[in-house]
Amino acid sequence: MAKGKVLVDGDILAYRAAFATQDDLPKDAEEKVEVLLDFVLEATLDFVTPDQFEVYLTGPNNFRFEVAKSYPYKGNRKAADKPKHLRHVREYMVKKFGAIVSEGEEADDLIAIEATRCGPNTIVASIDKDMLQIPCWHFNFNRKDWTQVSEWKGDLFFYTQILTGDAADNIKGLKGIGPKKAEKLLAECKSVDDLWGACVKAYDGDTDRIIENARLLWLRRYEGQLWQPPVNDDNTQ
């Protein structure tokens, strides 16, 4: 594996640290998030130097709340679900590690943008499956394993999600279609145009719904990007 920058999903680390210390003091939450980040970075030391990492957090005004028309984006979540020290941990991560906080989008978008800028040797450290649409190296710090995602593999994952939806974010896919059935529907596809065509067929031509879901699921590759379907031979997204 070539060396590259590590882009850390700070949202996951912040939540875990806060959740694990709900009955403790804020200082304990600070120490917990340091332990978690140290673990992630130590696991990548064979491939990067200690200063080659950035931590990302999701900030306010996520554009997806405006895009979602059919169902409320993340409408299945409640504010009460957030651990007590979460805000404190996030503030500490900004101060201690220089965590980058998004504005108008998610941390996932900023990670995808930076990974695109840095190239395929970038390492995304996260347990979030949504990241697997990004062409680069991925380190899952739950399973402690590595996955290399090519551009095609990333596209295939993205279009699979268009069919299945994402229950965690309240994005409804097609009823009765899970990952295995989606895999069969896309099995003969050889290009992004093919993937798009297969989705249009599965949705019975309801392109408005496909585009809405796609814009909710797609991680931006540049600032302000709003996903567009492929047109003829132009597969730019």
Res. 225 pLDDT band, cuts 50 70 90: very high
Average pLDDT value over all residues in the chain? 93
Q: What angle do CA 5, 218, 221 make, to 5 degrees?
A: 45
Distance in angstroms (rounded) separating the CA atoms of residues 19 and 82: 8
Name the residue with higher pLDDT: 235 or 211: 211
- Residue-range domains of the chain with CATH: 6-148 (3.40.50.1010), 151-217 (1.10.150.20)
pLDDT greater at residue 76 or residue 151 = 151
The token duo for 225 is 């990007």
Residues of the chain above pLDDT 70, percent? 95
Question: Which residue in 36, 142, 126, 235 sits closest to 134, CA to CA?
Answer: 126
pLDDT at 235 over 90: no
CA–CA dist 128, 109 (Å, integer):
13
> How much of the chain exceeds pLDDT 90, in percent?
88
Q: In terms of C-beta density within 10 A (0-12 exposed, 13-18 middle, 19 or more buried), how is residue 147 classed?
A: middle
Per-residue pLDDT for 88 more than 60? Answer: yes
Provide the whole-model pTM.
0.94
pLDDT tier at 159 (50, 70, 90 boundaries)?
very high
Instruction: Return the minimum-mean-pLDDT range out of 15-24, 38-47, 74-83, 124-133.
Output: 74-83
pLDDT confidence of residue 50 = 67
pLDDT digits (tens, 9 = 90+) for 4-14: 899 999 999 99
